[in-house]
Amino acid sequence: MKLDFFTLFMTTGVILAAISVSLLVFSYTRRENLRFIWASGAGILLASAAILGSLRNTIPDFFSIILFNLLIICALLFFCELFSRLLEVRTRLHVFLFAVPFVMTAALFVYTYYLPDYHVRVMIFNLATIIPLTYTLSILIRESIRTHLKTHLLAALPFLFMASIAISKLIIHNVKDHPEFSSPLHFILNALSMLGGIWAILSSVLLIGNLLQAKLELAARVDPLTEIMNRRYLQNYLVNEIENAHRKNYALSIILCDIDHFKDVNDRYGHLTGDAVLIHTVNTFREHLRSCDSIARYGGEEFLFVLCSTGIDEACGCAERLREAVHTYPYTKEGVPIELSCSFGVTSFRHGSDTYESLIHRSDAALYTAKREGRDRVSCIE
């Protein structure tokens, strides 16, 4: 049985070490991969613990019992920190969590050297294990994003699995005292714990990878300053809306907007203030649009609105409300309002003939007409 334990722990340690070193190397390849360091750190701690566990009875108890258990608890704390940072948890239980290993180490020291009792050590370790596991599960479930719920649940499974094993050990050792390294049940539970550690590393990597991919996809379609659709994503979005309008025979209108003389704002107040003005203007637009309407940043100070199920008259009325809102809610710098005006070009979808290019071309022509006629106005081309 001792050989079986040695093989189990040593094999697990080697596998965890290989995975963790690979993650560590990968985490340094690009800056956005640095969050993998926490996962690789947890893996290295678990690998070290497994190797120490395999050397039980050949090295001092301080290393094979106290340090072995301490490394496992620290690995779980690394998982807590990983998910706290990854999911941007505001309230972290740092003081409470990091007190756990100190209290557990002190208790293990007493029951290893002064009052040797394997049964009590098992109870102490598993009670200490349940605390970070419960916190990790609460983070993964409470902070889960609706669009990534399945990934979060998959990441939570190994920690739920390890928590179940810890609770099982508590129950078993309360019912019957199993001698150390002599019970088949003890061996099975330890084997499952080791597998749970490998599973936790792999599921963490999966969650990190999926969230990184989601951020890349978001960056590909969202303007970083105003947090609305960018021009690249707008084209795909509008093409889809045109196809839907063709197929379902519903009205569709677009509005092209340009902030008049915006260069003067940058020249007079600076580009940081210019950026703040753009953000404020976008927020003003959002407040005066329906939830089904969409807005995209078409150029530097140009914006395009997509109004589904909206005819030309309604779209012109919407553009007029947006024009008035810019005057009513100006951006203020140090209590002084920065007066702005906007020009709007409006057009609607022509069934049977319109394409993305023709619709944009007509809205651009309407905008040009608004500017030519004096700016700060709405021009409509049906």
Query: Scanning the structure block, which residue is given the tokens 């994503």?
Result: 233
Q: How many Å is the Cα radius of gyration of the chain?
A: 31
pLDDT band (50, 70, 90) for residue 1: very low
Name which of 147, 139, 153 is nearest 215 in CA terms. 147
The per-residue b/e assignment along 91-126, b for 16 or more CB within 10 angstroms, e otherwise, is eebeeebeebbeebbebbeebbeeeeebebbbbbbb
Residue type, 224: P
Domains of the chain by start residue, with CATH: 2-220 (1.20.1070), 231-381 (3.30.70.270)
Report the DSSP pairing between strands 331-333 and 336-338: antiparallel
Residues 251, 345, 247: CA angle, nearest 5 degrees = 20
pLDDT tens-digit series, residues 318-355: 999 999 999 999 999 888 899 899 999 999 998 878 88
The helix/strand/coil state of 254 is strand
Q: Is the pLDDT of residue 146 over 80?
A: no
Q: Is the pLDDT of residue 154 over 90?
A: no
Position 211 scores a pLDDT of 83
pLDDT band (50, 70, 90) for residue 183: low
Structure tokens at 204: 């963490």
Q: Which residue has the higher pLDDT, 347 or 185?
A: 347
Structure tokens at 207: 């969650």
Q: How far apart are CA 96 and CA 108, in angstroms?
A: 19
Q: How far is CA 200 from CA 192, 197, 256, 289, in A?
A: 12, 5, 50, 45
Q: How far apart are CA 29 and CA 114, in angstroms?
A: 48
Position 180 scores a pLDDT of 53
Q: Which residue has the higher pLDDT, 182 or 26?
A: 26
Report the DSSP pairing between strands 342-348 and 378-381: parallel
The per-residue b/e assignment along 127-142, b for 16 or more CB within 10 angstroms, e otherwise, is bbbbbbbebbbebbee
pLDDT tens-digit series, residues 37-59: 999 999 999 999 999 988 888 89
Position 197 scores a pLDDT of 92
pLDDT tens-digit series, residues 268-298: 999 999 999 999 999 999 999 988 899 999 9
Q: Is the pLDDT of residue 189 over 60?
A: yes
| DSSP bridge pairs for 255 | 305, 346
CB atoms within 10 A of CB 46: 30
Structure tokens at 53: 């566990």
Q: Is the pLDDT of residue 174 over 80?
A: no
pLDDT tens-digit series, residues 80-124: 989 988 888 876 677 778 899 999 999 999 999 999 888 888 899
Using DSSP, how many helices (H) and how many strands (E) does the chain show? 13, 7
Q: Is the pLDDT of residue 360 over 80?
A: yes
- Name 328's Cβ contacts closer than 8 Å, sequence gap at least 6: none
Structure tokens at 32: 């956005």
Structure tokens at 187: 């061996």
Average pLDDT for the chain = 88
Position 177 scores a pLDDT of 57
